Every structure is written in C-alpha cells, then in structure tokens.
Amino acid sequence: MTDQTPISREDRVEKLKGVGSQRKRVEDARFTQGKGNYVDDIKLPGMLFGDFVRSPYAHARIKAIHTEEALKVPGVLAVLTAADLAPLGLHWMPTLAGDKQMVLADGKVLYQGQEVAFVVATDRYAAADGIEAVEVDYEELPVVVDPFKALAPDAPVLREDLEGKMTGAHGPRKHHNHIFTWEQGDKDATEAVLAGADVVAEEMVYYHRTHPCPLEPCGCVASMDKVNGKLTLYGTFQAPHAIRTVVSLISGIEEHNIRVISPDIGGGFGNKVGAYPGYVCSVVASIVTGKPVKWVEDRMDNLMTTAFARDYWMKGKIAATKEGKITGLWCHVTADHGGFDACADPTKFPAGFFNICTGSYDIPTAYLAVDGVYTNKAPGGVAYRCSFRVTEAAYFIERMIEILAIELDMDAAELRRINFIRADQFPYHSALGWEYDSGDYHTAWDKALKAVDYEGLRREQAERVEAFKRGETRKLLGIGLTHFTEIVGAGPVKNCDILGLGMFDSCEIRIHPTGSAIARLGTISQGQGHATTFAQILATEIGLPADSITVEEGDTDTAPYGLGTYGSRSTPVAGAATAMAGRKIRAKAQMIAAYLLEVHDDDLEWDVDRFVVKGAPERFKTMKEIAFASYNQAIPGLEPGLEAVSYYDPPNMTYPFGAYICVMEIDVDTGVHEIRQFYALDDCGTRINPMIIEGQVHGGLTEALAIAMGQEIAYDELGNVKTGTLMDFFVPTAWETPHYTTDHTTTPSPHHPIGAKGVGESPNVGGVPAFSNAVHDAFRAFGLRQSHMPHDHWRIWKIANGLGLHG
C-alpha cells in the first residue's frame, strides 16, 4: 500500500485537467509577452534574402528577361530564372492535385503576380532594388477570367504545356482549358426523380473567390550545409512532413538529409498547406550560394498569388413533394482553378468532399458533377477553414433549401425539420457515398429555435414588413437559418491521400522517470491550442497532470511522420493517435503495477491517475510511481522504460454538425446591416476543452462574417486583382464583429477513441450560409430569390434598388 495523504477522487480529477476541463491555453504566455518565434524572427549567420519579380499581366508571353542591370545593384548576388532552373529540372514542380506548376515563368505567365525571376541579395532593400532593375519583355495575350468563357470553342489555350493532351490526372479532358470531370451518385435515377416531381426548385448558386489572409504571410528560410549535405528548411508549413517529402522529390536530396521545421505560425486556414515557388527558389539559392536564404512574401503578394479559396459556380435542382419531402438533388459545379490545378484535396477527390452537399437531409437520390477549369487567375483552391470544399457544399444545400421553401411557400425551419436524417438512421449512408457516424439533428434544431424564440421572430418580421409598407420604418428584419453537417478528419488511408501519402497521423509519447511526459505529434498548431488540448487527452488516458505533459510539433527530425493540420483533422486523427498511444502506455503500466502490487493484471482497475486492486481500493499504484518503477525495476518479460508510438488510420471520417441562426436588420436606403443576434449551436462529439471550443467558434464565425459580408478576391476583365490590399479586402475588426451566443449538444462519434469529432472548421462552414440566408430572408417578402455573395453595403443597396424599395 502506498503511504501518502488521502486525496479525494474529485480533487484528483481536478488536478489532472483532462478531457472536459476548461484549462487555460498554455501557449498564450509567450505570445502575450512577444516571445513567439515566427519565420521572420529566424536569423542565421550570413543569411541572404530573396524576393520575386512578378508579372503585371494576367496572360502574356515572355520574350526576354534582362538581368544585367539587376546584377550591378550593390548587394545583389544572383537572379534566378526558369532558364537557370531548367537544367536542374526545377523550373516546374508537382502540385498537390496531381498537376504541375511553374516555379518561375517558363515562356509565358498565366496570372497577375506570377513569379518570373528570383533575386537573391544581402538584405531586403538590395533585393527590392534588384527587382526593380530586372527588365522583362512581355507580349500580352488574351485574358480569360470567366470559367464559362474559358470553355468556349474559341477560348485561348492557357496551358500550352498540356496542348493536345486530352487526359489529365483525374481522367478525360474535354477542352484545352478543361481539367477534369468528377461525378458521384446516380445521374439517370436523379433525372427521373426530377422529371416526375411535384415541385422542382432550380438555381445557380455562386460562392465567390476569397482568400484565407492569415495574419502572417507565407515564408521560409532554407539553409544548405554543403559539408554534411543536410538541408534545413524553416517555414510556414501546415504539413511539415509532406513538405519534406515534396522537397526531396523535387530536389533529389535524400529525405533523411532534409529537416523541416515549422516554428510558431501566425494563422494558416489552409493557405499554408501547399508548396510555393518561394520554397523551391530559396532552397536552390541556398544550394548555389552556400548560405541561408530567407523569403517572406508581403501582403499584396499573399493576396494576389498564394492559394485562393472557393470560386465555385453551383447549378442546383432540388425535387420535392407538395408536402415538402425532398426526393432528389442534382448539382453541377463549374470550378475555377486558376492557371494551375493546385488544390489541396485528397487524390481521389479532385473537388474535395463536395459530395457532402446533401447536408443534414435524408435525400434518397442525388447526382453531382464537377468540372474543373483553367483561367487566368492565381491557382489554389485551399480549404479555407473548412474540410476540402465542405463550405461550398454546405452553402449550396442551405441556399437550395431556402429556394425550395420559396417554391413551396413553406416555412424554411419546418422544411428542414421534416427532411432531417433521424437519429435512428445512423450510421447513415448518403446518396453520394458517405457514411455519417452519428447525429441528433432534431434535438439540436429544436433547441436552437427555442433559444432565439423563432416563432416570436417570425411575428416581428411580418410586423416589420407591414410597417415598412406603411412607411413607418426603413429597416427590414432577416432570419438566417442554417443546419449543417460537416465531414472532417481526413482520413482513412483506404480513400484519402495527398501525393500518394496516406492521411493517417501520429503520436509518440515518452514518460520520464519523475512522472512528466513529452508527446510529439505529426501535426502543427496555428492557433488551435494543441499544446493545451492534446495534453488534456493524454492526462485522461495516462493519469498524469496535463501541466506535466509537454507537446511538441513541427520538427520532422523529432516528430513521427504525420500529414499535418488542416481540414479540422487534428482532433479526429492526431487526437485519436494521441489517445491510442496513451492506451499503449497504460497497458504496459498496468503490467508494471500488477508486478509491484503482486496481483494479476486482471485484478486491477483504472481509477483516474492510478491502478487500484479490485475490491481493495486502499492498495494502488499511481502513474507517477509506475513511471519511476519502469526505469528501476527489473520486471520479467518487460523492457525498461515507458514509451509508445501510434500511427492512427481512422476507419471513417467524423461528422460534426450544428444549428446556426442569424438575426439581422438591414437599412434599405444605405445597405448597412446590423447583426442583432447570432446563435451558434455546435455538436462536435466529446468536448475536450469547452473554453477553446468557444474561442474556435468565435474566430470561425468572424471569418464567416468576412466572407459572407464583404471579403472577395475580385478581378477586372484584364485579370487585374482589384482587392489586393487590406484597404480593399475585408478583414473584420472588433468594430464589425457582433456578439455570438454559443451552445452545444453532444453526440459522440462511435468510432473515435474518445468520441471527438472536431470543431475548428464548423463555424465557417455553418456561419457563411447563416449570414447570407439572413440577407436573403430580409428581402424574401419583396420577391428576392437569389443574389450572389459577398453582401457588402453596396450590393445590399442594389438588391433593395432592384426590388423597387427606394421609391
């Protein structure tokens, strides 16, 4: 029996700070004191600086690049062009989508801001002067920024390297600017349902091009040690191990000779998943000069050229009975991918997980087709705080539900209710191929409607319309409803990979003799609080206080191989790996405890932070005691130490969901909106840290507000980016951000080790349609059916004007 002062079970649970505890973020201490370590903080001896000459044109042939004057600029050491990279085979690089992309412009440019030459200098000022001294002779070519026009028979050939090739990475190409066609579902059956339906609502829904715009732009520092042949690459990488593999494939350097380090990252939101020309050029420049080379883009470069998000034209048809029961869904998407297909999607899903577009609804028959198209825009297509095009899918179905409600002259809340997947239908197999793990949509929906007094809001809205018609007010009331189901946790290796790398994740745990622990993971936090929450998972699993557990990420020399952090996969995949590694630790600890207590393994039971002899709770060994014993007791059949590693390949994705309601007042004369109330109910399964969940929801909703109400990457007909600075690209401040009311239900995932589903992406997925639906709902009584985001003040004013409300 252990001799120690008795402590209650409740006190032991409190001390542990495990799953469910509102533990404060341990990361914040250094950030609030200005002690963060970002890429631009890295300073190495003899470090050089690189920057790009970028194209002012969206489509042009390069006749000549003159570098002579640039090389005369004091401090400029080298100017790299495609001609310099070509002998090394580095002038093109693979994209995550199976396409290839120019590192530096090879013969022509395909979008404004494309990288043409890389200037290497002793400091940033010399690099900037060198860029100005490089002269490029361009021959302008016809520009296409409309994906529908890009598919016209007489459209210019954009990708001349693919000319004549009618098969791409994802199958047949039907036009020289066509990338792929991806289909899911039963086309014939769906068209038959549409043909025989009582009611069919049809609409074009556009989700505009936007951008993650992280606070810290992309950057890297490449340092090649020619003596030992090792390359160290620091960078803003959301998937450091994948970047290491890509760099090895491109450069030919053995992967074990490459060390990739992701230091603190100032926001990612999908923007930092892919590989950019700056990474490749920095590595080449370091190899050539023998010195470290830093590249950090500026804000305009980031907005113009790093991976965009969305830009989906979604043509929908939804069929229903006269009573509102949905019988079929048809969708065709025209996806604008820009100059290269550089989307960060799993290989088998060239349009991401868009086939979650049936949403929360029991739709028996559905068909989806997506056509990818090249245009003269920047490439990308990242999961901007969503899981692989799920935000577009959620926006599509939630708009189609609203349009069907108009067609049926039915309350949109009731239309949703009668079509929800029932709790007893889970696991639910959707018509487009997914197996939803668990859910209770009706309970969440009823809770949300009651919380906002939905019936009272509808009465107030009707009264407001009548008052408006009488001239007593100029403000309308909109009630934006959304019930979304997300798919996250990519993913099962059987159907999810990027560049052939299965999307498992990992955790390695080492318990020290004194009872502290270190956990290393293949993920990398960009503000999600991994050091806090992963320690909580481990605390619950192995019985050591979370405060005694250190979490390390982002260094490929120390962390086990993992696929990184994006698409809300950290908790569903890496969190599961953490729990499973912890259980391996606990299983060995049980054998050690049994030996120490001189009982059989089966005679012990786990109790918070210790193993207790069944029926004799006074006989126990704490995890801290077991840890010390593992290093100093010779236990027959057991190796010394207490360590474990887990590579977790999930059996299925997870399916968090939520019910969001936005109450918005709109002044028809100015287009100015005021969000009176925003209620967000999330169900993310087991809740690891409620405080961090609330912070994630607040942040995601604010990004959703930005997207729905003003954030846009807009182009003119010549391919010029019109929103390339923060003067034009809307990033909300505290002034624009409304108050959010958060709530939850809990429906654990049956296949996840701790039942967690993930929540980081949910508020963006559900928030955008809630804000947008509120705008549409405000004008529904006056005949508005559909308008395109973003709903800035000018566009809202135009809606009112088009409906004759300014008369």
What residues are annotated to the active site?
Answer: 238, 385-386, 761
Nearest one of 372, 371, 389, 374 to 309, comparing CA atoms: 389
Is residue 65 within 8 Å of residue 117, measured between CB atoms? yes
Would you put residue 435 in left (φ > 0), alpha (ψ -120 to 50) or beta?
beta
Is residue 207 within 8 Å of residue 394, measured between CB atoms? no
* Rounded-to-integer distance, Cα 299 and Cα 58, Å: 19
The beta-carbon contacts of 719-727 under 8 Å, at least 24 apart in sequence, are: 719/57, 719/58, 719/59, 719/111, 719/112, 719/143, 719/145, 719/376, 719/377, 720/58, 720/112, 721/112, 721/113, 721/303, 721/304, 723/303, 724/300, 724/303, 724/304, 725/299, 725/300, 725/303, 726/213, 726/299
Would you put residue 346 in left (φ > 0), alpha (ψ -120 to 50) or beta?
beta
Angle of CA points 663, 669, 673, to nearest 5°: 25
Is residue 498 within 8 Å of residue 96, measured between CB atoms? yes
* Rounded-to-integer distance, Cα 34 and Cα 43, Å: 17
Question: What's phi and psi for 544, nearest 5 deg?
Answer: -105, 145
Q: Which amino acid is at 648?
A: Y
CB-based contacts of 453, cutoff 8 Å, min separation 6: none
CB-based contacts of 609, cutoff 8 Å, min separation 6: 12, 15, 16, 543, 544, 622, 623, 624
* Rounded-to-integer distance, Cα 86 and Cα 411, Å: 62
* Rounded-to-integer distance, Cα 786 and Cα 478, Å: 14
Nearest one of 361, 220, 348, 391 to 293, comparing CA atoms: 220
Q: E strands within 13-154?
A: 48-54, 60-66, 76-80, 92-94, 100-102, 108-109, 115-121, 135-140
* Rounded-to-integer distance, Cα 92 and Cα 288, Å: 18
Cβ neighbours around 408 below 10 Å, total: 18
* Rounded-to-integer distance, Cα 252 and Cα 250, Å: 6
What is the DSSP annotation of 377-423? S--B---TTSSSSHHHHHHHHHHHHHHHHHHHT--HHHHHHHHBPPG
Nearest one of 575, 563, 447, 581 to 511, comparing CA atoms: 581
Is residue 795 within 8 Å of residue 671, measured between CB atoms? yes
Tell the residue number behind the tokens 């100093």, with chain if given. 632
126 class by beta-carbon count within 10 Å (0-12 exposed, 13-18 middle, 19+ buried): buried
Torsion 243-245-251-255 (CA) sign: positive
Angle of CA points 585, 646, 343, to nearest 5°: 150
Is residue 436 within 8 Å of residue 654, measured between CB atoms? no
Tell the residue number behind the tokens 């936090």, with chain if given. 525
Instruction: Supply 692's token pair.
Output: 């961090």
Looking at the DSSP bridge assignments, the partners of residue 50 are 120
* Rounded-to-integer distance, Cα 751 and Cα 655, Å: 11
Collapsing DSSP states into helix, strand and coil, what is residue 519?
strand
* Rounded-to-integer distance, Cα 473 and Cα 457, Å: 17
* Rounded-to-integer distance, Cα 272 and Cα 405, Å: 39
